[in-house]
Structure 1
């Protein structure tokens, strides 16, 4: 029976029989100065891994702002795209962030007709069709359709690797860092099934190849090696998510307003999730 090949695996076939072998396991190591090392690795990854010209799914949040800032610093030509309904939070956040970074951002204002078309196309291929999956996939599909570049860059994987989701902070508060770390680990292990398969497919259907620099081997392994208590940090105002990533971004010179900015998930702040629920309920 057909099945999915797991990440880090190869399917070998010699004409008579097939064999699945593991070729990669992440190397977890002790990190003496994670903030400094992360601040060293991030620019290297963006310089080496990003193409000279590409589009960027830009929401004005920490992840995409770091990518834009470091890409520009290394001389890349970035077309920043923000997707959402008119008046949505993402458009205002992206505009403010673009102004702070000194870049231009192209606002793609969607309407129900565009979203219905995206759902119709994506629904034929997506393995899961929940409102959340359709909302996220629609963002990538519409961004890709509106991109003039071959490659679409996005911050996928950063939330799972650095503790960006609210559920991690909630688990930390209720049960301790061990439970939060376990949630993050499971989400990283499921990235290929729950996120990347969907997002790469949606981007490809729109005509672009998706690039996720936070998942480059060197950065990925470093993130896995960092103590979870440096990702979720107790402060006087509660639990700071992505604490170590924010500290590294601050060290690199990212404007403080962007370093400290909280951010909703794009499917909500773009307005797509709400409208997709309405569209699905009325069909």
Structure 2
């Protein structure tokens, strides 16, 4: 993984002050020095301290609101307004001056610590001329593929900054940046890019053509943003205000002569995605097997290409709510490691939040309960094997939440809704490497679930721990491919038992394809930025290009949402749709019955990261942050 920062402008404005260096090239491979130079200082604001010091008072005011609201016989509107004002007096933030920069190099300098945090193994700064333009590049590297290669990479013609992982067979067991460079030299930039399979963003300078090419892969799994003015362009993995997020599957070409930006389609990949609209009411055995083989392969190529420069205790980690999407991924990773027979440790990362508004503790969150159960059953599959499966419980108290909230809001921009914050901050803390967590390891693999939950301390070893795994696996994409959201189910709400559902299934297919086309905008950039800020990398088995093609082009829509009917006690016939039905069948065939029928629960509700502030009870996910 790499952090990308590129400034092209007409006039050199000086070197970035934070590097304390005046030469054209600067580099650092001392990880301790990198951490110390660019260590971020997280502080509570005066308002946040006021919130912490008045928690009991805020709880009392919140209880008053509830009582006043429940008393419908009396008009308490004035009293309610008074209580809201008291809450506002304690919690209202002082307006902050908007961050402004007097020059582009000042803005560039401000971005360097965020870029450095993404790649803690190596940093390099370069300054050179390209025609009449000045170019300044800053790259950070998290080295996961050997041999180690520094960035940027230079040839006589090209300068390459590459952030991501490639899974082309030609580079499966070698350095993918080196492979990409060779492809560019042989075939040119556009032809090389369309052949790539993986998760990536790039910034490539062509010195002969005097152009900068940049963009993201066809799905948009890595973050990349830019800001253009009449005499400069700034391209960055992490944005500031007024930056635009690069779209997935687009190639951006910036001329350093005319300073014009052209945008074109990167690949024709989505034109090859033709939703399969034929309904099939036979047993789905063949289709389940196809999904199993393809997804297992997707996991394998992503876990086989992990060779970090700095050794870690755990080989990899899984963002783990305990639900079906991540449980299937965890089970497939285990299967692959069992076949490889090499000793490995896997961390299952589960996060929960103390909620001062409701009084619910992190340990009581729904995800904590479900992840505990799913981990137990998965761990039993590892009995006497080369795989050690640990549950890592991350508890986030209100003070921690307040301390890091501002940083998360900055990282997730241009997304800035309450829902985005509650999702982003859950992933941020799940992947953190500073908050002490608890690591659980199963000690008795013969115990039954009922005996286990009756006395868990007897069967579990618990240690304080911080996961150092550099690669995190995510179950993102399953809902978009298999119909996991309520809006997918709502397509069938008007159907009656005797109706032909073909039109609704065609509509479902269109919606699922659209969800994949915009997932870069809705989820991927935000999630990449918050997790990569810890020097860790996300990998998405469900979003493998070949797996997406299989599910969209070949899997029947009525296997994604299965429509059944039931009769109530009053004799009314009602629909009973099952979301992600074929994924549930897959879970059953893999022996994951403990999670097969679990309902969809968004992370912000499962981890209880939503609506943490007093006075937020009526806030909606779509509300913009204040």
TM-score, with length taken from structure 2:
0.42
Q: Aligned to 1:230, which of 547, 550, 559?
A: 559
Cα offsets for 1:207-256 (capped at 9, x unmatched):
311211111111122122223221110124611100111222323x1321
Task: State the match for 1:115 in structure 2.
Answer: 401
By how many angstroms is 1:16 displaced?
A: 4.2
Matched, 1:135 2:422: yes
Matched, 1:9 2:211: no
Task: State the match for 2:137 in structure 1.
Answer: none
Describe the SS at the equivalent of 1:149.
coil
Sort the Cα spacing of 1:214 and 1:127 in 2 relative to 1 into closer, same or farther, 3 A. same
By how many angstroms is 1:21 displaced?
A: 3.6
Contact 1:84–1:108, Cα closer than 8 Å, also in 2: yes
5+ residue gaps, structure 2, are 1-226, 229-243, 279-283, 307-314, 338-343, 354-361, 380-388, 434-466, 496-503, 567-575, 620-625
By how many angstroms is 1:117 displaced?
A: 2.5
Q: Aligned to 1:166, which of 486, 489, 494?
A: 486
Contact 1:172–1:179, Cα closer than 8 Å, also in 2: no
- Measured in 2, the distance between the counterparts of 1:245 and 1:136 equals 23
By how many angstroms is 1:186 displaced?
A: 2.4
Matched, 1:65 2:327: yes
Describe the SS at the equivalent of 1:123.
helix
Higher strand share: 2
Contact 2:345–2:390, Cα closer than 8 Å, also in 1: no
11-20 vs 35-44, greater mean Cα deviation: 11-20
Contact 2:249–2:266, Cα closer than 8 Å, also in 1: yes
Higher helix share: 1
Describe the SS at the equivalent of 2:563.
strand
- The count of corresponding residues between Structure 1 and Structure 2 is 281
Q: Aligned to 2:347, which of 61, 72, 79?
A: 79
5+ residue gaps, structure 1, are none
Contact 2:252–2:262, Cα closer than 8 Å, also in 1: yes
Task: State the match for 2:588 in structure 1.
Answer: 250
Sort the Cα spacing of 1:71 and 1:65 in 2 relative to 1 into closer, same or farther, 3 A. same
27-36 vs 55-64, greater mean Cα deviation: 27-36
Contact 2:473–2:541, Cα closer than 8 Å, also in 1: yes
Does 1 or 2 have the higher relative contact order (CA < 8 Å, sep 6+)? 1
Sort the Cα spacing of 1:61 and 1:218 in 2 relative to 1 into closer, same or farther, 3 A. same
Q: Aligned to 1:36, which of 289, 292, 296?
A: 289
- Measured in 2, the distance between the counterparts of 1:277 and 1:268 equals 17
- Measured in 1, the distance between the counterparts of 2:264 and 2:247 equals 10
Residues 200-211 of structure 1 mapped to structure 2, 5 A cutoff: 200-211=528-539
Contact 2:484–2:600, Cα closer than 8 Å, also in 1: no
Matched, 1:195 2:552: no
Matched, 1:94 2:371: yes
- Measured in 1, the distance between the counterparts of 2:400 and 2:330 equals 27
Contact 2:559–2:581, Cα closer than 8 Å, also in 1: yes
By how many angstroms is 1:10 displaced?
A: 2.3
